[in-house]
Amino acid sequence: MNIIFFALVAIAFASAAWHQLRWDGAGEAPMAQLTSGVINAAGGAVELAIALIGVMTLFLGLIKVAEAGGLLAILARLIRPLMVRLFPDVPPNHPAMGAMILNLSANMMGLGNAATPFGIRAMQALNQLNTRPGVASDSMVLFLAINTSSVTLLPTGVIAIRAAAGSSDPAAILPTTLFATLCATVAGISAAFLYRRFAPLPPLPAAPAAEQETPSTPDQALPESTDDTPLAEDDGRAYPAWVSGLALLGFVALIPLSVLYGQAIAPWIIPSLVMGFLAFGLLRGVRIYEVFVEGAKDGFQVAVRIIPYLVAILVAVGMLRASGALGAFVALLGPITGPLGLPAEALPMALLRPLSGSGAYGVMASIINDPAIGPDSYVGLLVTTLQGSTETTFYVLAVYFGAVGIRRLRHALPAALTADLVAVIAAVFAVSFLFGQAVM
Instruction: Determine the average pLDDT of the residues in 346-354.
Output: 79
Structure confidence at residue 235 as a pLDDT band (50, 70, 90)? low
Does a structural domain hold residue 24? no
| Pairwise pLDDT comparison (76 vs 293), residue with the higher score | 293
Number of independent structural domains in the chain: 1
| Pairwise pLDDT comparison (299 vs 27), residue with the higher score | 27
Does a structural domain hold residue 209? no
Structure confidence at residue 67 as a pLDDT band (50, 70, 90)? confident
- When mean pLDDT is compared over 7-16, 189-198, 329-338, the highest value belongs to 189-198
pLDDT at residue 72, rounded to an integer: 65
Does a structural domain hold residue 362? yes
Average pLDDT, the chain: 78
Does a structural domain hold residue 400? yes
Instruction: Determine the average pLDDT of the residues in 11-18.
Output: 91
**Percentage of residues in the chain having pLDDT higher than 90:** 16
pLDDT at residue 212, rounded to an integer: 44
Does a structural domain hold residue 30? no
Does a structural domain hold residue 205? no
pLDDT at residue 328, rounded to an integer: 80
pTM attached to this predicted model: 0.68
Does a structural domain hold residue 29? no
Residue-number span of the structural domain to which 79 is assigned? 2-13+39-198+235-435
Q: Using one digit for the tens of pLDDT, what is the confidence trace for 124-144?
A: 889 999 988 889 999 999 999
- Over the chain, what HEC string results? CHHHHHHHHHHHHHHHHHHHHCCCCCCCCHHHHHHHHHHHHHHHHHHHHHHHHHHHHHHHHHHHHHHHCCHHHHHHHHHHHHHHHHCCCCCCCCHHHHHHHHHHHHHHCCCHHHHHHHHHHHHHHHHHCCCCCCECCHHHHHHHHHHHHCCCCCCHHHHHHHHHCCCCCHHHHHHHHHHHHHHHHHHHHHHHHHHHHHCCCCCCCCCCHHHCCCCCCCCCCCCCCCCCCCCCCCCCCCCCHHHHHHHHHHHHHHHHHHHHHHHHHHHHHHHHHHHHHHHHHHHCCCCHHHHHHHHHHHHHHHHHHCHHHHHHHHHHHHHHHHHCHHHHHHHHHHHHHHHHCCCCCCHHHHHHCCCCHHHHHHHHHHHHCCCCCCCCCHHHHHHHHHHHHCCCHHHHHHHHHHCCCCCECCCHHHHHHHHHHHHHHHHHHHHHHHHCCCCC
**Percentage of residues in the chain having pLDDT higher than 70:** 78
pLDDT at residue 267, rounded to an integer: 67
Does a structural domain hold residue 103? yes
pLDDT at residue 381, rounded to an integer: 93
